[in-house]
Structure 1
Amino acid sequence: MRDTWLVSGGAGYIGAHVVRSLQAAGADAVVIDDLSTGDIGRVQVPFVEGDIADWRLVADTMRQYRITGVVHLAADKQVEESMREPLTYYRRNVVNLMQLLTAMAHAEVGRLVFSSSAAVYGMVDSPLVGEDHPTRPINPYGETKLIGEWLIRDQARATGLRFAALRYFNVAGTASPELADLGRTNLIPMVFDALDRGDQPVIFGGQHPTPDGTCVRDFIHVQDLADAHVAAIAALDEPGASHVFNVGCGRGYSVREVIEMVAEVSGRSIEPRVGAARPGDPAMVVADTARISRTLGWHPRHDLREMVRSAWHAQPRQVSASRG
């Protein structure tokens, strides 16, 4: 029998890519999404509109479709918003995960791939951060993701749940235009949005302890990230499997370097302005990807230029035609 994976948040930017990668690998997928940020137009598999907070609905869905594993992506993910609305983040990222785990236990579904985040590390004092680095998140978003890892680990100890927690770094690009990032909270879409409006992109903080004073991040193409989920699933075959993996490129780019890449790809002259640093933003976070490469044989295949180019060409035409 083919595996059938329930993808929570599967109508979202990352989720839609994960669904396609699952299908390409020969698995079936079912999406559950409340469509608060997702787009039903991305979904080409069986779909259930609903909130994972409703564990009975989730458990019934698992039984109906004979789900064999869950990829859990549904969560809130904006650092700045989490500083302003911590209770919302704890409810949607922690309490809802508890409900999902409850549903899995009732439906006897024993495999889980969890969308975690590099935000669990907080302020990093080394050029590369490995999975064994101390986890000291500095914002509620990162705290909720770390608590999520703890919940899953403890449920695994109690029930034999097999899991992989993927600590995403900064996701960008698209595999095809219809799956593009529709939000405007990630750096590259934020720069596109400023160009569309004829505004200067804003750099949040110009005096960080980095080479050019702007934050340094590790960017990962969304297709590489989706493929990492499929690789992680293969690692859940063994009883007692419990994994934590960084998913990044292992190369840092400053915010200013990313904006310069957007200018190069778009052919625009871009003069960003420097604003105040955002609360909860670490200065530098770059992945050590040795563990996932060694354990799963996974390696990123796309560089920053390909991320920016794919995202740029997926934008609506009025963006590409806007004034520089």
Structure 2
Amino acid sequence: MNWLITGGAGYIGSHIAELFQQEGLNYYCYDNLSTGDPARISDSERLIIGDIHDEVKLERIINKMEVSGVIHLAAKKSVEESREKPILYEKTNFEATERILDICSRNGVSQFIFSSTAAVYGESKSGFVSEDAELHPISTYGVTKMKAESVLTSYISRGLIQGVSLRYFNVIGQASAALKDNSSDNLVPRVLTAARQHLKPQIYGNDYPTSDRTCIRDYVDVRDIARLHLRLCRDFDGPKLPPALNVGTGVGVSVLEVMQSIYSRMGLSLNPEVLPRRQGDPATLVAEIGKLKEKIGFVTKFDFESSIESLLH
């Protein structure tokens, strides 16, 4: 079986590709390299440079490579940028996903794993969210991912494809320095950069209703995400899968705790710069992971401290 990983040269995609390479699964990475790095792909012959908006090329590749399953990661993912460029996010995250599903259904692709996000939930009164919670995204990014999920669910219910939406919480960690996260949109890379340059890390809001007044998130290791995809691709049982699965650890860590962990490990004193809240940031968002265990028997392997340790060595 051949898998196509859109966004395969990105942070998460390259970890999936590397694990597939090690485990002998057949795959190809499809990436426009706008944020992806070809150096992340150890087997360059498996990297196809292309854009998800190029329907003709994508359909040709799916047929040429005899693709039977797609892991769709390619997307725009900044909450702040999505507010400034809503049309770009609508076209990339929703409309392109809809077209890819159409291409898949017409060309014999039977399995589709969609990379979604916890941002589809928005605010949570209890902090913990299950897949059955109502979706009330408070960012354009979250709205576009929710709409893409809805289209996939429609394709599944009509028997056009088997699939699942994986709602990633905050992804951290790395298998190697070559596969590191370079995104300036993510908290941990920003804090690491500030620490290495002996600068003050920035906290967006310290007036949230949490124990230390900073946002709380569920941090899941990218190596566990790769392991999950390996599990699904080896034994994909669409009828037994729910439409969506939370991908997290079920453990909340605050922004301040993230900074303290990194700065203490580096032997630095912490004196963060506090900035106003960012629009679209919920106070607390932690995964309820019962279905992940129940439906596919998957348990994460790497805890938060292990993830931070991987980034410093």
CA shift at 1:260, angstroms? 0.4
Aligned counterparts of 1:81 and 1:205: Cα–Cα separation in 2 = 18
Q: Is 1:7 paired with 2:9?
A: no
2:195–2:263: 8 Å Cα contact kept in structure 1?
no
Q: Which residue of 2 aligns with 1:295?
A: 295
Aligned counterparts of 1:249 and 1:127: Cα–Cα separation in 2 = 14
Aligned counterparts of 2:24 and 2:165: Cα–Cα separation in 1 = 22
Aligned counterparts of 2:128 and 2:272: Cα–Cα separation in 1 = 27
**1:280-291 alignment runs, 5 A limit:** 280-291=280-291
Q: Which residue of 2 aligns with 1:47?
A: 47
**1:137-286 alignment runs, 5 A limit:** 137-234=137-234, 236-239=236-239, 242-286=242-286
Amino acid at match of 1:13: Y
Aligned counterparts of 1:56 and 1:253: Cα–Cα separation in 2 = 44
Q: TM-score under structure 1 normalisation?
A: 0.92
CA shift at 1:111, angstroms? 0.5
Aligned counterparts of 1:226 and 1:243: Cα–Cα separation in 2 = 19
SS at match of 2:302: coil
Amino acid at match of 1:111: Q
CA shift at 1:234, angstroms? 4.7
Q: How many residues align?
A: 311
Structure 1: 5+ residue stretches without partners = 314-324
Q: Which residue of 1 aligns with 2:33?
A: 35
Amino acid at match of 2:107: A
CA shift at 1:79, angstroms? 0.6
Q: Percent identity?
A: 37
Q: Which residue of 1 aligns with 2:57?
A: 57
CA shift at 1:105, angstroms? 2.1
Deviations 1:9-35 (A, max 9, x none): 000000000112233443211010000
| Root mean square deviation, CA, Å | 1.5
Q: TM-score under structure 2 normalisation?
A: 0.95
1:114–1:166: 8 Å Cα contact kept in structure 2?
yes
1:204–1:275: 8 Å Cα contact kept in structure 2?
yes
SS at match of 1:193: helix
Q: Is 1:132 paired with 2:132?
A: yes
Structure 2: 5+ residue stretches without partners = none
Pair 26,243 (structure 1): closer, same or farther in 2 beyond 3 Å: farther
2:241–2:295: 8 Å Cα contact kept in structure 1?
no
Deviations 1:182-216 (A, max 9, x none): 22221111011222333200100000111111000
Aligned counterparts of 1:81 and 1:232: Cα–Cα separation in 2 = 32
